[in-house]
């Protein structure tokens, strides 16, 4: 009955999209109920799975044969295993909270029913993605997620920027999809199957180069969906969508699909050192790049988006570490899902209070005006910077530890990343909630309604308590059937073995430095009401998203446009001429033959017989030869 | 091959008749002869079932349909004009036909010269069963398709030949009621028109019937004959009829009385106006 | 065998010439039927020569298809006659009702 | 089907053909006389009783008179077709008889030759009869067309449409017989009826056949092509003398043909009626079966005459609707039932005897049902002859003098 998980939101989406206007009044409730039902069912299944034997925690639910042609068979099958179970809970749980939040956030939007339909569609697609037992089915969910994100980012289609952002997200994602599609085709060619388990079994005994190619292609797909360098540029623009969308898609779920893909394909990555290294490099670069971008943005959502990039970079990096990191990647993914959703929704709450102004330089001193938002946001903040005891502390710590054990320089880079994270998050907190009020008098900040704050509270609680999952190494244990056993590795720096507590201490110190720097820069000093123009090169660099768009423009867009123009010119002057010339020729020939077209049926019959005669003659000639 | 010797010339002559017949009906008859002849050949060549089907389907159904259409449309379709509107069509057609025939002869001759590998072994006794086994075995799909084809063809023909009624068709009861209403309104006789009298000098319908009292019933003569002025008066059948017919309305004597008064119901009414005029004409032309 | 085939060829040729020469749509149609019949005869002849019944079955199918064709064809002729008052194939020169 | 057919000496075939011809012509003369007598009896008349014993030679006299009448060829007629039409109507009528079995194998007197009492037979004999009948339609259509008369044309069209329509229902009623007998050859169908005549297990088919055979022969109450009130004489309005006689002959032979076919297919052909063969061993041997055969045929002829004497003519559209919308769908449904039964039987799911007797039981129930329905009291209608119908005969209303006076 795993399919029920998908069925609820899918049905909700279908219902809301086809039902007429009369469902405007209660459509959002249907959608929320569908999502909640899916969550409840997810919990039930999860409990059932807990009750099973440690090694017997995989439930396969085959619905029907989707494709059957020749030797190629694709079953429409859902695999419910520990990894998928975690994801299901995260998606439906956070998803339901965001549904609830959206009831308040989108209250005055005319097209609220449609918005909820898209949300449900997204949840359904994401569930298909994580439950898929076959890469082709996974691809179905993958594309469904892409579609839903396109629809949601561009939900306020009346804004040209939103429409452009949606298009950009769609196009960039397609680049990643090419990798994904090629990977699936390669699997079919090499293994004759695209079933995930079967592919995992077939990896042994396949040429290393093939596996590497497969891993790199999958990584390309993951980069697209998870906004990793070099396909990161869409994520920042995607903040044009309604804030719940940013929370759901661009923080908690969709962008994690890439991480999921890498972890799910662990068999492939385990077998290829090169692919793993590529993943680590991509993760590391994204981690630092995202963090730097986060430092320079004045737009609260874009700052958070940079943070998301950065955090997903952490997960990617962890996933690239192989069996040592898979479980921690997922662990961080879950905790990140909690606190990032929390903070995005908090940002939404702030915007709600500030009449949809997103510029942090117009905020300040909101802690008194928005006490609940401030409190929940603050908890999320503590979680993300890794304040000891909070969920982010455990999850990030584990990744840093594993990275240090893997390679000292990579580990140190992740430590640096943690410091930068602390810096920009403190900056964000300080600019938003601390200091003097900088908003204009006509703005009257007010706390959001209960329907929005309750999800915030729940998510804040989860952000704080997420670390529980690590108790007694539960999560590594839980995921072991899927990703293999996680060895506890020892961190060795300068020939000496560092105990975990020492690593934690190091990280905490670095984080404290970051916090202090930010606090002294933004908390204690007056923040300018407008974005300063005279800034250092580094700041401008960061503000412009590290010139990611410019690079894209020069590397991809310009050459393509030039090529297209050349082809168009050739088409105009070459092909067109040739075709019109041919047409003219045929036309003249036809008018000279028009005399034959006399309208008499019998003349045509004569033609038919002459033709038959000629054919028979030809036949006879062939026979005689 | 005695059957062939007898039938083949008939078939060829009939086929040529199809080519040269002036009237469509003659052509259809010629074709029917061809088809029956072919059926005989089928029967003589181990295909008794085809023999029956050929006659029932081709001769009985298809050609009958042709005849129907000929009769429906053929009244004004006279013989074709002598000159062909397409220049050179006849010559070209004859040439192409001849070339085609030659080609066929050569082609089939080629096949025959190569000979057949299979021996002549027609299974005549199990003809029907054998055909059934083939039809419902390997060819069952084709058989089903022909069924679909026939249904489609019937529907298509009905659509093509159908003419929509603008008003609902009057039922028998309505027609009867209308007749009675007409009778009530202006005395139109509700039954059949009376049949003409019989006077066996020649074709007898141009003689009006006589009422029991000896007067001629003018409405018994077909209207077209009256228009043409071909109505004949019986010379002498009753006393005084010969001289009495001229004064129609104002007749003298006791019989005129009876006519005017008794008049035997509605029929007299109907006839009174219509009958007298034409009758005068008829006399003049006679 | 060759007798039957010769007859079949003669009939086919006559039918072909008839289609080309006659102008009455009905007779043209009959000539088409004559050609079909000629092929049927060839089918039967070959069936006998090969000693199996497939040829006869083919002839049977030809008959069925011919019946369908005639039904529709005659309906078209009637429709044309109704709209143009003529059934000469030479009259039907424009593609409009 | 015996191997004898097609392999007999020429003189035997010629003799049999001649005999069939003679029998048919004589039978036709007899039937005409019979019809006149029976209809007369039904109408409280006497009928022809002057020429010959019981007036038996009346038909012969009429025939001679008809043949000697002036032969008129209408001016507007298409001469060739006009002459051809009656011949086309008559020849197929005779041809159909070549496959009708009159009796079992017999020895020709004064020789040693043993031959079946049947001109020939073929695997598709019944279809052959259908085919020949459909050629006979040409005579009617062409007669109607070539006369150059509107009445004749309409009568011819009507007639051929009628015959073709009812031929379908007729053919469908044959199908069940073929299924039961496993053959389309007349002789085998007869021999398949040794134990049980098919009219009982196949009663619905039999009824359909009875109705369609009347329609097929243009007889009352389906004699629409010759509906005198509408079409004068129908397709033969313009015919006279010998040509008309040929049409007349064809019609009566067709009647006998369909009767003989009914006998062959449903009433056991030349087999002696039930009971006789059990009592008398030789009933089905020698020349006796011819008697049974002609007797059964005569029964159907009587049925024709009876119908003519009883029923009024139907309206044309009702008649066609009945054929297409009642008889044919019903036949199809019944064929389906029979096919299912035969399939079950062939697979051994049910016993043949059970099927047969189930059919018989259904038939008996049907007959009983109809009979009981007839017994239901009909609602009282005002008797048109009130007051003077004491002895049960209707008489005209009492003449009222006062009315007559006022009319004057």
Sign of the CA dihedral running D322, D325, D330, D336: positive
What is the C-alpha separation between B84 and B66, in angstroms, rounded? 24
- Cα separation of the two ends of chain B: 67
Chain A touched by B89 (CB under 8 Å) = yes
A613:B86 CB<8 A: no
User: What does the pLDDT read at residue D149?
Assistant: 79
More confident residue, A42 or B116: A42
For A358-372, B110-124, C23-37, D30-44, which range has the lowest pLDDT when averaged over its residues? B110-124
User: What does the pLDDT read at residue D2?
Assistant: 53
Return mean pLDDT, chain B. 72
What is the C-alpha separation between A102 and A105, in angstroms, rounded? 5
In a domain? residue C90: no
In this complex, which of A598, A602, A606 lies closest to C89 when CB atoms are compared? A602
Q: Angle D241-266/D79-95 helices, nearest 10 degrees?
A: 30
For residue range A510-560, list pLDDT tens digits in order.
999 989 888 888 877 777 777 777 777 777 777 777 777 788 788 888 888
User: What does the pLDDT read at residue D394?
Assistant: 52
Query: Which residues in chain B (161-180) have CB-CB distances under 8 A to chain D?
Result: 172
- In a mutational test of the B interface, the residue from A596, A599, A607, A610 whose CB has the highest number of chain B CBs within 10 Å is A610
- Both structure tokens of D200: 């009982």
A569 CB neighbour count, 10 Å cutoff: 10
For residue range A174-233, list pLDDT tens digits in order.
989 999 999 999 998 888 888 888 888 888 888 888 999 999 999 999 999 888 888 888
Cα separation values, C48 from A390, A511, B243, C2, C53, Å:
95, 100, 83, 12, 8
User: What does the pLDDT read at residue C74?
Assistant: 87
User: Could you give the percent of chain B with pLDDT greater than 70?
Assistant: 67
User: What does the pLDDT read at residue D6?
Assistant: 65
Q: How confident is the model at residue A96 (pLDDT cuts 50, 70, 90)?
A: very high
List of residues 6+ apart from B119 with CB closer than 8 A: C51
Which other chains touch chain A, taking contact as 3+ CB pairs less than 8 Å apart? B, C
Helix (H, G, I), strand (E, B) or coil at C90: coil
Instruction: Using the predicted structure, report yes or no on whether residue A461 has a pLDDT greater than 60.
Output: yes
In this complex, which of D123, D138, D142 lies closest to B127 when CB atoms are compared? D123
Q: What is the dihedral of CA A381, A382, A385, A390, to 10 degrees?
A: -130
Domain count, chain C: 1
Q: Are strands A491-493 and A496-498 parallel, antiparallel or unpaired?
A: antiparallel
What is the C-alpha separation between D386 and A414, in angstroms, rounded? 123
- Cis peptide, bond prior to residue D221, ω within 30 of zero: yes
Chain C touched by A596 (CB under 8 Å) = no
What is the rounded average pLDDT of the residues A557-583? 88
User: What does the pLDDT read at residue D155?
Assistant: 83
Instruction: Using the predicted structure, report yes or no on whether residue A612 has a pLDDT greater than 80.
Output: yes
What is the rounded average pLDDT of the residues A379-394? 88
Q: Which residues of C touch A609 (CB under 8 A)?
A: 16, 20
Q: How confident is the model at residue B74 (pLDDT cuts 50, 70, 90)?
A: low
Beta bridge partners of D84: none
Instruction: Using the predicted structure, report yes or no on whether residue A139 has a pLDDT greater than 90.
Output: yes
Q: Which one of A50-54, A124-128, A238-242, D76-80 scores highest in mean pLDDT? A: A124-128
Chain D touched by B114 (CB under 8 Å) = no
Instruction: Using the predicted structure, report yes or no on whether residue B251 has a pLDDT greater than 50.
Output: no
In a domain? residue C89: no
In a domain? residue C92: no
A619:B97 CB<8 A: no
- In a mutational test of the A interface, the residue from B87, B88, B106, B114 whose CB has the highest number of chain A CBs within 10 Å is B106
Cα separation values, A464 from A213, A380, A390, A512, Å:
40, 7, 5, 19
What is the rounded average pLDDT of the residues A460-475? 84
Q: Locate the chain C residue with the closest alpha carbon to B62.
A: C67
What is the C-alpha separation between B187 and D365, in angstroms, rounded? 54
Instruction: Using the predicted structure, report yes or no on whether residue A569 has a pLDDT greater than 60.
Output: yes
In a domain? residue C96: no
pTM over 0.90: no
Chain C touched by A599 (CB under 8 Å) = yes
Q: Locate the chain A residue with the closest alpha carbon to C18.
A: A602
More confident residue, B81 or B161: B161
In a domain? residue C77: yes
Q: Locate the chain A residue with the closest alpha carbon to C95.
A: A599
CATH of the domain at C59: 1.10.287.3510
C-beta of residue A404 within 8 angstroms of C-beta of residue A493: yes
Give me the residue label for tokens 């990647």.
A329
Beta bridge partners of D114: D107
What is the C-alpha separation between A38 and A91, in angstroms, rounded? 10
Q: Locate the chain C residue with the closest alpha carbon to A600.
A: C90
Which other chains touch chain B, taking contact as 3+ CB pairs less than 8 Å apart? A, C, D
User: What does the pLDDT read at residue C53?
Assistant: 83
User: What does the pLDDT read at residue C82?
Assistant: 79
B61:C75 CB<8 A: no
D68 CB neighbour count, 10 Å cutoff: 10
User: What does the pLDDT read at residue B243?
Assistant: 44
User: What does the pLDDT read at residue B79?
Assistant: 53
Render each residue's pLDDT in chain D as its tens digit; 408 residues: 556 666 777 888 888 889 889 988 888 888 888 988 898 988 888 888 888 888 888 888 888 888 888 888 888 788 888 888 899 889 988 888 888 888 887 777 777 777 777 878 888 888 888 888 888 888 888 888 888 777 888 888 888 788 888 888 888 999 988 888 888 888 888 888 887 788 877 888 888 899 898 888 888 788 777 766 667 777 888 888 888 888 888 888 989 999 999 998 888 888 888 777 777 777 777 788 888 888 889 999 999 899 888 888 888 888 888 888 888 888 888 888 888 888 887 777 667 677 777 777 777 777 777 766 655 555 555 555 454 444 555 555 555 455 444 444
Chain D touched by B2 (CB under 8 Å) = no
B69:C18 CB<8 A: no
In a domain? residue C36: yes
In a domain? residue C79: yes
For residue B235, the surrounding DSSP H or E stretch is none
Which other chains touch chain C, taking contact as 3+ CB pairs less than 8 Å apart? A, B
Q: How confident is the model at residue B254 (pLDDT cuts 50, 70, 90)?
A: very low
User: What does the pLDDT read at residue B253?
Assistant: 36
In this complex, which of C20, C65, C90 lies closest to B93 when CB atoms are compared? C20
User: What does the pLDDT read at residue A157?
Assistant: 87
CA A471 to the chain's CA centroid = 28
Q: Locate the chain B residue with the closest alpha carbon to D228.
A: B195
C20:A600 CB<8 A: no
Helix (H, G, I), strand (E, B) or coil at A103: helix
What is the rounded average pLDDT of the residues C33-47? 89
Cα separation values, B172 from B169, B201, D7, Å:
9, 39, 59
Chain C touched by A602 (CB under 8 Å) = yes
Q: Which residues of D touch B49 (CB under 8 A)?
A: 123-124, 127
List strand residue ranges (DSSP E) for D101-256, in order: 103-107, 114-117
Instruction: Using the predicted structure, report yes or no on whether residue B282 has a pLDDT greater than 60.
Output: no
What is the C-alpha separation between B38 and D79, in angstroms, rounded? 27
List strand residue ranges (DSSP E) for A211-280, in order: none
Residue C20's domain spans which residues?
2-84
For residue range A321-353, list pLDDT tens digits in order.
888 888 889 999 999 999 999 999 999 888 888
In a domain? residue C51: yes
State yes or no: ipTM above 0.90.
no
Q: How confident is the model at residue B269 (pLDDT cuts 50, 70, 90)?
A: very low
What is the C-alpha separation between A303 and A297, in angstroms, rounded? 5
In this complex, which of B85, B92, B103 lies closest to A617 when CB atoms are compared? B103
CA A519 to the chain's CA centroid = 32
């Amino acid at each position: 009955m795993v399919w029920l998980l998908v069925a609820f939101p899918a049905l909700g989406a279908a219902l809301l999209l086809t039902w007429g206007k009369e469902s405007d009044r209660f459509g959002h409730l249907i959608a929320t109920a569908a999502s909640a039902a899916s969550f409840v069912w997810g919990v039930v299944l999860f409990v059932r799975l807990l009750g099973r034997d440690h090694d017997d925690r995989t439930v396969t639910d085959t619905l029907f044969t989707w494709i059957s042609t020749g030797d190629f068979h694709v079953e429409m099958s859902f695999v419910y295993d520990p990894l998928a179970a975690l994801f299901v809970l995260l998606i439906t749980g956070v998803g339901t909270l965001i549904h609830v939040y959206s009831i308040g956030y989108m209250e005055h939007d005319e097209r609220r029913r449609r918005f909820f339909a898209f949300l449900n569609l997204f949840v359904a697609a994401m569930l298909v993605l994580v439950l898929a037992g076959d890469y082709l089915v996974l691809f179905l969910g993958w594309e469904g997620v892409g579609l839903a994100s396109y629809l949601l980012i561009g939900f306020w289609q009346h804004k040209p920027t939103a429409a452009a952002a949606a298009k950009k997200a769609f196009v960039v994602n397609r680049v990643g999809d090419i990798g994904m599609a090629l990977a699936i085709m390669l699997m079919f060619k090499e293994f004759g199957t695209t079933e995930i388990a079967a592919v995992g079994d077939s990896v042994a005994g396949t040429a290393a180069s093939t596996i590497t190619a497969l891993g790199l292609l999958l990584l390309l797909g993951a980069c697209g969906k998870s906004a990793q360098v070099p396909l990161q540029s869409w994520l920042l623009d995607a903040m044009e969508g309604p804030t719940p969308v940013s929370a759901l898609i661009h923080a908690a779920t969709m962008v994690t699909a890439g991480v999921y893909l890498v972890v799910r394909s662990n068999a492939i990555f385990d077998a290829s050192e090169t692919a793993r290294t590529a993943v680590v490099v991509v993760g590391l670069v994204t981690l630092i790049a995202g963090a730097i971008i986060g430092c320079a943005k004045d737009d609260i959502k874009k700052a958070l988006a940079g943070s998301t990039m950065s955090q997903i970079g952490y997960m990617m990096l962890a996933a690239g570490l192989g069996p040592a990191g898979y479980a921690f990647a997922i662990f961080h993914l879950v905790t990140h899902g909690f606190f990032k959703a929390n903070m995005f929704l908090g940002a939404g709450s702030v915007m709600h209070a500030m009449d949809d102004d997103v510029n942090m330089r117009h905020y300040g001193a909101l802690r008194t005006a928005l006490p609940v938002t401030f409190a929940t946001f603050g908890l999320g903040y503590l979680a993300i910077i890794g304040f000891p005891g909070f969920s982010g502390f455990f999850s990030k710590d584990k990744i840093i530890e594993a990275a240090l054990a893997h390679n000292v320089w990579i580990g140190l880079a992740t430590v640096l990343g943690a410091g930068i994270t602390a810096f920009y998050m403190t900056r964000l907190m300080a600019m938003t909630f601390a200091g003097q009020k900088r908003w204009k008098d006509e703005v009257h900040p007010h706390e959001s309604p209960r329907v929005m704050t309750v999800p915030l509270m729940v998510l804040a609680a989860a952000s704080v308590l997420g670390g529980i999952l690590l108790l007694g190494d539960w999560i590594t244990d839980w995921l072991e059937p899927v990703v293999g056993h996680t060895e506890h590795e020892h961190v060795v720096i300068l020939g000496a073995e560092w105990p975990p507590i020492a690593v934690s201490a190091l990280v905490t110190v670095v984080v404290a430095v970051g916090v202090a720097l930010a606090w002294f820069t933004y908390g204690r000093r007056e923040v300018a009401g407008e974005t300063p123009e005279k800034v250092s090169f580094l700041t401008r660099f960061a503000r412009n998203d590290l010139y990611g768009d410019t690079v894209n423009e020069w590397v991809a867009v310009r050459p393509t446009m030039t090529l297209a123009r050349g082809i168009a010119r050739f088409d105009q002057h070459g092909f067109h001429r040739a075709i019109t010339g041919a047409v003219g020729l045929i036309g003249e020939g036809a008018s000279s033959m028009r005399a034959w077209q006399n309208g008499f049926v019998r003349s045509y019959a004569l033609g038919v017989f002459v033709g038959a005669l000629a054919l028979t003659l030809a036949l006879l000639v062939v026979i005689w030869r | 091959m005695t059957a062939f010797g007898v039938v083949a010339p008939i078939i060829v002559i009939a086929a040529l008749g199809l080519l040269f017949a002036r009237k469509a009906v003659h052509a259809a008859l010629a074709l029917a002869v061809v088809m029956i002849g072919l059926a005989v050949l089928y029967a003589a060549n181990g295909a008794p079932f085809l023999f029956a089907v050929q006659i029932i389907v081709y001769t009985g159904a298809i050609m009958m349909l042709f005849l129907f259409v000929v009769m429906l449309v053929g009244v004004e379709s006279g013989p074709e004009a002598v000159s062909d509107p397409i220049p050179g069509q006849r010559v070209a057609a004859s040439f192409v036909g001849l070339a085609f025939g030659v080609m066929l002869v050569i082609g089939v001759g080629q096949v025959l010269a190569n000979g057949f590998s299979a021996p002549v072994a027609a299974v005549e006794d199990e003809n029907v069963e054998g055909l059934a086994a083939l039809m419902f075995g390997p060819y069952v799909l084709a058989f089903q398709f022909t069924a679909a084809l026939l249904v489609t063809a019937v529907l298509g023909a009905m659509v093509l030949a159908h003419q929509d009624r603008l008003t609902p068709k009057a039922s028998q009861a309505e027609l009867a009621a209308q007749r009675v209403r007409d009778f009530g309104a202006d005395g139109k006789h509700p039954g059949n028109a009376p049949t003409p009298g019989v006077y066996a000098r020649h074709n007898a319908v141009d003689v009006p019937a006589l009422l029991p009292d000896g007067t001629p019933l003018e409405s018994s003569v077909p209207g077209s004959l009256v228009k043409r002025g071909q109505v004949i008066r019986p010379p002498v059948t009753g006393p005084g009829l010969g001289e009495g017919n001229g004064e129609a309305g104002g007749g003298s004597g006791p019989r005129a009385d009876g006519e005017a008064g008794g008049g035997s119901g509605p029929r007299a009414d109907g006839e009174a106006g219509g009958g007298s005029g034409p009758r005068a004409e008829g006399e003049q032309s006679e | 065998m060759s007798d039957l085939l010769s007859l079949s060829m003669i009939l086919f040729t006559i039918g072909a010439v008839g289609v080309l020469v006659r102008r009455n749509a009905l007779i043209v149609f009959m000539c088409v039927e004559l050609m079909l019949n000629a092929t049927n005869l060839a089918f039967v002849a070959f069936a006998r020569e090969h000693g199996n019944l497939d040829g006869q079955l083919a002839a049977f199918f030809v008959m069925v298809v011919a019946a369908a064709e005639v039904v529709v064809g005659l309906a078209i002729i009637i429709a044309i006659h109704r709209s143009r008052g003529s059934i000469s194939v030479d009259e039907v020169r424009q593609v409009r009702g | 089907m015996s191997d004898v057919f097609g392999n007999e000496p020429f003189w035997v075939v010629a003799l049999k053909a001649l005999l069939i011809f003679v029998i048919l012509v004589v039978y036709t003369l007899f039937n005409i006389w019979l019809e006149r007598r029976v209809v007369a009896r039904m109408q409280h008349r006497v009928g022809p009783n002057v020429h010959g014993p019981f007036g038996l030679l009346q038909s012969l006299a009429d025939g001679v008179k008809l043949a000697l009448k002036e032969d008129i060829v209408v001016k507007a007629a298409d001469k060739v077709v006009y002459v051809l039409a009656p011949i086309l109507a008559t020849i197929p009528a005779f041809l159909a008889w070549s496959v009708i079995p009159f009796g079992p194998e017999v020895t020709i007197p004064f020789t040693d030759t043993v031959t079946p009492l049947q001109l020939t037979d073929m695997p598709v004999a019944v279809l052959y009869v259908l085919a020949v009948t459909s050629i006979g339609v040409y005579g009617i259509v062409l007669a109607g067309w070539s006369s150059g008369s509107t009445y004749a044309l309409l009568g011819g069209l009507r007639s051929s449409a009628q015959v073709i329509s009812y031929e379908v229902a007729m053919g469908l009623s044959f199908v069940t017989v073929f299924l039961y007998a496993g053959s389309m050859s007349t002789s085998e169908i007869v021999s398949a009826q040794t134990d049980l005549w098919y009219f009982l297990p196949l009663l619905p088919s039999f009824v359909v056949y009875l109705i369609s055979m009347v329609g097929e022969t243009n007889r009352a109450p389906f004699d629409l092509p010759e509906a005198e009130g509408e079409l004068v004489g129908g397709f033969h309005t313009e015919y006279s003398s010998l040509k008309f006689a040929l049409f007349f002959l064809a019609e009566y032979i067709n009647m006998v043909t369909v009767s003989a076919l009914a006998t062959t297919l449903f009433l056991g052909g030349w087999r002696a009626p039930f009971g006789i063969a059990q009592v008398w061993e030789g009933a089905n041997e020698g020349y006796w079966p011819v008697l049974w055969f002609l007797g059964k045929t005569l029964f159907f002829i009587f049925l024709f005459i009876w119908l003519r004497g009883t029923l009024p003519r139907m309206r044309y559209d009702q008649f066609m609707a009945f054929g297409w919308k009642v008889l044919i769908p019903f036949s199809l449904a019944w064929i389906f039932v029979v096919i299912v039964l035969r399939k079950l039987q062939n697979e051994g799911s049910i016993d043949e005897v059970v099927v047969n007797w189930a059919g018989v039981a259904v038939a008996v129930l049907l007959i009983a049902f109809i009979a009981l329905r007839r017994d239901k009291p009909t609602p009282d209608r005002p008797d048109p002859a009130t007051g003077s119908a004491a002895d049960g005969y209707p008489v005209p209303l009492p003449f009222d003098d006062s009315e007559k006076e006022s009319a004057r």
